[in-house]
């Protein structure tokens, strides 16, 4: 069955289905029960499943994740919501020092099926601590899987796949894409959780991104097409591990690569992709890999975010530079 849903509603439906299929799935977070979460992603689930499976927690991110780790050890599959990206840092010690290391510490004998949902990124005009892109902290940390859906269809399926994983998953939800609607095939066979995907074919330049950047890259590709330039757009979907095969195949065809992200560029996901493609596809490249990113400064106040975040013009400028070599 196909439904026209927003990303927020699609994730809600995915959580609902996962909870129906497995009574060991629990939701935890600040204001996720009665309120349904700040972005209403968990709206209605407390009414349907009760307060023992949809838990309103204290304002204590470290406590939320620490409690969830204990539940995962006891056979539950907890899904934690971090209310905003900038609020995850109090939980970093639990995530990095404990959760990410526990499977290795137990030599694989104990699994930790725990999902941490984090709304992230800009484009919503929010205040300090409410717009950040912390993905590099987690992709740098061995023992964590990190994914980010760019579409409602991926949101619906990927949240269920993340819950089914026996490893901890950081599930990054692009806030800017919560509301636009598109078709969701609720009965379709989803792509593997960690598979990158070409979402627009092209011949001149490969452009790669994740989360909210995918829609921006598609807009840039449409503008470029009007100028006779063909961009191939790749949606990463998974940030750790990264599926490089579609990226490398595309670069072999186009000989040029641009990586776009909202996060600052230094020591980032974009940096890793640029380095890996330079190592593995050097003889196919006819231009340096170009990164388009946020700047290496704290995420700015709302009225300055348009100067910080990559937009269509910055992407097209990078395309012109790549084609100029």
Q: What is the rounded CA–CA span in Å between residue 120 and residue 48?
A: 27
Q: Which of 130, 157, 194, 210 is catalytic?
A: 130
Catalytic (active site) residue 194: no
Dihedral over alpha carbons 112, 117, 118, 121 (to 10 degrees): 120
Which letter, b or e, does each residue of 273-311 get, where b requires 16 or more Cβ atoms within 10 Å of its Cβ? bbeebeeebeebbebebbbbbbeeeebbeeeebeebbbb
Residue 212: which of 272, 248, 282, 262 has the closest Cα? 262
Which letter, b or e, does each residue of 101-118 get, where b requires 16 or more Cβ atoms within 10 Å of its Cβ? ebbeeeeeeebbbbbbbb
Q: What is the rounded CA–CA span in Å between residue 263 and residue 169?
A: 20
Q: What is the rounded CA–CA span in Å between residue 258 and residue 221?
A: 12
Q: What is the rounded CA–CA span in Å between residue 1 and residue 21?
A: 18
Q: What is the rounded CA–CA span in Å between residue 77 and residue 283?
A: 45
Rg of the chain taking only CA atoms, in angstroms: 19
Residues marked active site are found at 130
């Amino acid at each position: 069955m196909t439904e026209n849903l927003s990303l927020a509603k699609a994730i809600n439906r995915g959580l609902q289905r996962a909870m129906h299929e497995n009574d060991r799935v629990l939701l935890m977070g600040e204001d996720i029960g009665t309120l349904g979460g700040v972005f209403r992603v968990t709206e209605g689930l407390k009414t349907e499943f009760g307060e023992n499976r949809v838990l309103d927690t204290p304002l204590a991110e470290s406590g939320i994740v620490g409690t969830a780790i204990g539940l995962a050890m006891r056979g539950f599959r907890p899904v934690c919501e971090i209310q905003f990206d900038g609020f995850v840092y109090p939980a970093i010690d639990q995530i990095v020092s404990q959760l990410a290391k526990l499977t290795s510490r137990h030599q694989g004998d104990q699994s930790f099926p725990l999902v941490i949902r984090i709304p992230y990124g800009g484009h919503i005009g929010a205040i300090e601590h409410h717009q950040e892109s912390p993905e590099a902290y987690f992709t740098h940390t061995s023992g964590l899987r990190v994914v980010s859906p760019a579409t409602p269809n991926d949101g619906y399926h990927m949240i269920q796949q993340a819950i089914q994983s026996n490893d901890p998953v950081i599930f990054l939800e692009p806030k800017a894409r919560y509301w636009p609607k598109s078709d969701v095939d609720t009965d379709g066979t989803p792509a593997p959780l960690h598979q990158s995907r070409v979402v627009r074919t092209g011949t001149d330049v490969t452009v790669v991104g994740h989360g909210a950047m995918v829609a921006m890259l598609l807009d840039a590709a449409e503008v470029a097409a009007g100028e006779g330039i063909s961009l191939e757009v790749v949606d990463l979907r998974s940030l750790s591990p990264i599926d490089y095969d579609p990226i490398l195949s595309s670069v072999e065809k186009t000989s040029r690569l641009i990586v776009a992200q909202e996060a600052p560029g230094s020591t980032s996901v974009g940096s890793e992709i640029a380095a890996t493609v330079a190592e593995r596809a050097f003889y196919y490249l006819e231009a340096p890999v170009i990164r388009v990113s946020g700047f290496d400064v704290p995420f700015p106040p709302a009225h300055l975010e348009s100067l910080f975040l990559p937009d269509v013009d910055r992407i097209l400028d990078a395309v012109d530079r790549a084609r100029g070599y």
